[in-house]
Each structure stands twice: as structure tokens, then as C-alpha cells.
Copies of this chain bind each other. A is one copy, B any other.
Amino acid sequence: MSANPLSEKEVAALRGDFPILARTVRGGKPLVYLDSGATSQKPTAVLDAERDFYTRLNSAPHRGAHALSEEATAAYESARERISAFVGGRPDELVFTKNATESLNLVTHAFLMGGHPAIPGSERFTLDEGDEVLVTEMEHHANLVPWQELCRRTGATLRWFPVTPEGRLDLSDIDTLLTERTKVLALAHVSNVLGTVNPVQMLAERAHQVGALVVLDACQSVPHMPVDAPSLGVDLLAFSGHKMLGPMGIGGLWGRSEVLDALPPFLTGGSMIETVRMEASTYAAPPQRFEAGVPMAAQAVGLAAAVDYLQAIGMDRVHAHEAALTERLLDGLAQRPWVRVLGPTDMVDRSGTVAFDVEGVHAHDVGQILDDAGVAVRVGHHCAWPLHRALRVTASARATFGIYTTPAEVDALLTALDRVPAVFGIETGAR
């Protein structure tokens, strides 16, 4: 990608759209928000879009014939169209969920139905003893625990690609791991700890050769780089709105039409039905089949505004901006031998997520020192506990970026970090 990073002036202008960035913490220190990987900040345009929905159109979409409901339905469906297009999909290929976690559970629960009598083709989504689900050791709990539960309940076996010490997928055993027994390959596009960008296209191709369904956790790619679901070759793709400048409480599940068509419903209730009798019901076509109850229409409208905002910048430029910040941080950390970076230390197939460990100091204590300087990073296992075990650390500190992050903020992190050795009395190897 040869796009230019954002200029200092551009970022400064952008920051004006995020009122929270002007606030101070811990007794007057300017907020340095380096936790966008957990959740991003929201531009005024997104907040305005939501408020506009509430103050002009608010009513239940797909549930009325009156003027307000017509307008709310149109706004909701226009949001679906724009957000689906953002990941390369058609309007009816996008299901709204509350977050990526629900999107992934929607898929694992489909397999628990053991095929649904009212959904032709749903027999495809069954798992039995002897079948296998393949994940990776770097998965977020959201793309691991649901598969564990699914395997526990169906008798299928969970297998996983291990992670190399450098934080890449170890594919050396691919021929024994990805076989005719594999019914599902579920993996992260980008690791939320290591920043590693996985070779999705290649793996999806291999998985399809053995007839497996490919489920992509795109939580950490969709907000940060151009993502085109069809050309990645995956079958289903989950993402979260709140990580991509959108409101909380909304996520997405993109699915190829043929796949969604055959997928049994998950949550059942109003508006996902075709006919209901006391004895039994039949179900609507996707995406409605998966959207039971009054949907988060205001949040969909807000997320569409977020997508518009990102597209106005250009996702290749968003990516270039964050890559520049990542490089700056990796360079700075490389000069501090008492810091160990988890994950790739170069920029090849790497995204803007930098986790690190100060040897001899617990990540929570590191984070506390940074926080005291106004620098907000995430500490802990970041919902990727098995990955931390594999890398032989209990926890790490993690800096993540957004379009509003500045090089000066990276430097502020490094400066604050330099207080750590003194406070906790560890050797820095300097002097």
C-alpha cells in the first residue's frame, strides 16, 4: 500500500472531531488515548447521526406503516447497505448484532441446531464426533470459547495452529491439522495482541479444498485497513462497530448469501419469522432471520456515519497512518532492551497493535505508571489468555492506535515508560 500517512495538519484537524481527546486525566494531564483496539473514540459526526435519528425519525423499523416508521426503516436499511459495502458485501449479506462476540456466537449456535427442519440446506451446519474445528492459539476469547462450547456439546474436537515465538501462526503441521475432518476454520484476521496479519486468503483456499467453512474474526482489521470479504475468500466475517468509530452496542456479521441462506436462526422472536402458530413457526430470509426483536437502528445509523467518515479519509491512508505510528513505537521500544515486544518487530504483515512486557515488572504496574502520566494503554491478557501462556507471560501492556493518534502521543508513551525501571528498581542495561 503506497498511500500517504496523514499529515500532522490533517491529524490535528481530525482531532477536533473527537471532543474527548481534549480532556485531561489524573490531575490535569492531557489524555493520551492508546487503547483504540479495545474501543475507539467517536467523532461528532457519529454522535450527531445517532441523535438526529432519535430526534427526527425514532420509531421501530420494519414494524409499522406510519410515516416515522417508514423513515426509520429507510435509514436503517441504508445504513446496512453502506456498512455492508464497506466490507465488500451486498445489502442482504450483512446481519446486525450487538457486537462481534454475538456475531461469532450466532455462527457457533447455528451448528448446535443440528440442522433446522424449516431451513433448507441447514443440514450443512452440523458437527459430530470425529469432526474437527480448527482455530489458532492467538484467538481472542470471543473466537475461541464459543468453539470450545460447541465442541463440548457436539463431541467434535477442537484443534489449533500454534504460534511461533515471533508471534506468527505456525503452519508447519497444516497437513495434519487441516484435513477432511475439519468442518470449520475460524481465525482472526489480525491478532488483537501481536498485530500479526494472518494469511487469510491462502488459509481460506486450503480450508475450502477440504470443504470446511471459513469464519473470520475481522475485529482488528476492518477498523484499520481496507477489507474486502469476498476477495479474502471467507464465508463469514465478524466485526464490531465500537472499534471503528461507531457507537457501542452494534456489531456485524457479513456472510456469503448461500451461506446465510442455509444458516439456521439463532435468536428467535419478533420480525425474524415468516408465520407463527402456537405449534410451530417458519422463518424469514436473511438478514431478517437473524435480527429478532427491535434492532439497534440508531446505532446502525451511527455506524454508517462512522463508515462514511473512514471512507472520506480512505482506508489505505488510515492504514498508512497507523503503520507509521507502529514503526515509531517499535523503533522506540527497540532502544529499550528491558522491554520485550510480543509479536513481529518488523512491519511485514503487521498492524498497529503493539504489546510489550517489561521484564521483572508486572504489566499492570507498568500500565499504572503510564496511566499516572495520562497515557492509557490496556494491560492484562487482552482476552487472549492462551496466547499469553504460549508466549510465557501472564500479562502484557498494549498500545493501539486510531486515526486521531499522533506521533507525539507515541513519544509520550515512551517517555512515561522510562519512569518504570526507576520506580520498580530494575536494571535497564543502560550506562
Contact = CB atoms under 8 A, between A and B. Distances in A.
A120 interface: no
Interface in A10-36: 19-20, 23, 25-26, 31, 33, 35
Interface string A364-383: 10011011001111111001
Q: How many copies does the complex hold?
A: 2
A312 interface: no
A251 B370 CA distance: 36
A41 B19 CA distance: 27
Interface string A92-124: 000001111110110001001110000000000
A287 to B, nearest CB: 15
A278 interface: yes
A23 B56 contact: yes
A64 B378 contact: yes
Contacts of A54: 20, 42, 47, 247
B148 A281 contact: yes
B55 A99 contact: no
Contacts of A376: 59, 64, 66-69
Interface stretch (A136-144, A331-339, A340-348, A420-428): A136-144
A68 B31 contact: yes
> Max chain B CB contacts within 10 Å: which of A69, A146, A278?
A278
B276 A145 contact: yes
A154 interface: no
A201 interface: no
A101 B292 contact: yes
Given A35-B64, A270-B101, A293-B99, A153 B113 contact: yes
Interface in A135-190: 137, 140-146, 148-149, 152-153, 158, 160
A47 B50 CA distance: 9
Contacts of A160: 278
B42 A58 contact: yes
A117 to B, nearest CB: 8
Contacts of A299: 248-249
A370 B57 CA distance: 18
Given A39-B60, A249-B250, A270-B101, A65 B383 contact: no
